Chain A
Amino acid sequence: MGAQLRIYRRRMRSVKATKKITKAMELISASRIVKAQQRVAASSPYATEITNAVAAIATYSNTDHPLTAQHVNAGRASVLVIAADRGMAGAYSNAAIKEGDLLIASLKERGLDVRSYLVGRKAVNFYKFRNREIAGSWTGFSDNPTFENAKEVAYALAQEFLGDSDEIHIVYTTFKSMITQQPIATRMLPMMLDGVVKPEGLLPEYEFEPNATEVLNSLLPRYVEARVFNAMLQSAASEHAARRRAMKSATDNADELIKSLTRLANAARQAEITQEISEIVGGADALASASAGSE
């Protein structure tokens, strides 16, 4: 076998091996998307109910509470960025980190000091490589977050908010569909009560047990937990979707490569055969003319 042909065959073997890996990862991600999606759906009733509850207090009571209004003016904001632990997911992590950067830039423009909290090894590495300060980071659960993980993160953020941060923002990737995932940045605290209008005049009699402030105090950490958990679940679903898509195009690309390498290898084999034939013919000719000359 000629050298050229051997090289082509070797490259084909290696591409085929890679293709097996990417194909497997694609299938794994595809099966996990469904599960992740179900978890997002399962967690949304709680998130909806707790948001309604907070909105109810904000609308029907006259309590000024940090949960719904600006409370300190420390000139500081905290940002939580949720990215992936592992790569092989195309631009997923980078898109989230970039969205975070945009948010941070706009916060800095407003003269705020920004503290960064990170979820996912990719985000941590990105920050470490650029020598950026990290206020807190959590890794190891980006593709399958549990409520316990969310609680841990939420606790740190709630502390930060009750301490000396004016605002808490969260950057995550919303799972819109199998093919669309959108990184977004939203303000988590103080709560944005979009579409909730405080009614004029007398408020309807809303009872609070024991009282509005107390209820809000215990609602705040739960609300943060629910929001963080939901963001993590959506990010996980998006991560799987992004990985599936990246691995699918890698597999398709491997197929293309194998196809063109096969063609090249065939051409090389044919060239080898042609060369051998012409060598034999040439050799036979030379022998024939040599023996003809000796006669």
Chain B
Amino acid sequence: MANASHVLTVEVVSPDKRVWSGEATMVSARTLEGDIGILPDHAPLLGVLVDGKVEIKTVAGEKVEFTINGGFLSVSQNRVSVLGQAD
């Protein structure tokens, strides 16, 4: 962790469990309005996600991918939560 304020704390949760949690440098997802990428220090945001992929680039440089059936994306103060029926 190079700089605490320049990473995103990400939580991917589904109704019955926490699917993934960790730190990332970028999160991208598809909202009703189109693809969106979240970088550290993004403005607070709440979005509706459509069916599709959520991509997380972790601090270690790996790429994690989730397929979700709709859900929500919430960003505030470098905390990103992806709420979905992930599977």
Contacts and interface: CB of A to CB of B under 8 A. Distances in A.
Contacts of B64: none
B46 A206 contact: yes
B81 A209 contact: no
Q: Main SS of chain A's interface residues?
A: helix
Contacts of A60: 44
A147 B81 contact: no
B74 A52 contact: yes
A42 B83 contact: no
Given A49-B74, A53-B74, A209-B31, A147 B15 contact: yes
Interface stretch (A166-174, A213-221, A283-291): A213-221
Given A49-B83, A56-B44, A215-B48, A209 B33 contact: yes
B63 interface: no
Contacts of A210: 31-33, 48
B28 interface: no
Interface centre among B18, B33, B70, B83 (most CB of A within 10 A): B83
Report the interface size class on chain A. 20 to 34
Nearest to A151: B15
Contacts of B11: 45, 49
A171 to B, nearest CB: 21
A96 interface: no
Given A39-B16, A42-B18, A45-B13, A206 B45 contact: yes
A205 B46 CA distance: 11
Report the interface size class on chain B. 20 to 34
Contacts of B40: none
A229 interface: yes
A207 B46 contact: yes
A199 B24 CA distance: 30
A46 B13 CA distance: 5
Interface string B68-87: 00111110100001010000
A187 to B, nearest CB: 21
Contacts of A57: 46
A155 interface: no
Contacts of B32: 209-210, 214
B15 to A, nearest CB: 5
Interface of B: 11, 13-18, 31-33, 36, 43-48, 70-74, 76, 81, 83
27 contacts: A39-B16, A42-B18, A43-B15, A43-B17, A45-B17, A46-B13, A46-B18, A49-B74, A49-B81, A52-B81, A53-B74, A53-B81, A53-B83, A56-B74, A147-B16, A207-B46, A207-B47, A208-B45, A209-B45, A210-B32, A214-B48, A215-B46, A215-B47, A215-B72, A218-B72, A219-B72, A222-B83
